[in-house]
Amino acid sequence: MAKLALINREAKRTKLVAKFASKRESLKAVIDDQSKSDEERYAARLELQQLPRNANPTRQRKRCAITGRPRGVFRKFGLSRGQIRDIAMRGEIPGVTKASW
């Protein structure tokens, strides 16, 4: 089980990303718009830098929904490899069977 502080930190980042998503997108649109003047684009770049660092979606980490483990998490299930194995062995994931050949 991951430390609760790390799980809470990740939840905080998720809220920040959602809060600043629209502002971030509009600033990036101004920065990429070639028809704008260089001063406007530069001002937008400075304003983007003033946003909180954790508002950037690339700073988020996928974690297991059950244990909070940060590594070995499958996107399809949102669970870590160990939890997938346990749940699949109990037959609780439809369509997942143990391989045999």
Q: pLDDT tens-digit profile of 9-66?
A: 999 999 999 999 999 999 999 999 999 999 999 999 999 999 999 999 999 999 999 9
pLDDT of residue 47: 95
pLDDT of residue 9: 93
pTM: 0.75
pLDDT of residue 43: 96
pLDDT interval class at 98 (50, 70, 90): confident
Is the pLDDT at 1 greater than 80? The verdict is no
Is the pLDDT at 2 greater than 90? The verdict is no
Helix/strand/coil (H/E/C) assignment for every residue in the chain: CCCHHHHHHHHHHHHHHHHHHHHHHHHHHHHHCCCCCHHHHHHHHHHHHHCCHHHCHHHCCCCCCCCCCCCCEECCCCEEHHHHHHHHHCCCCCCCCCCCC
Is the pLDDT at 99 greater than 90? The verdict is no
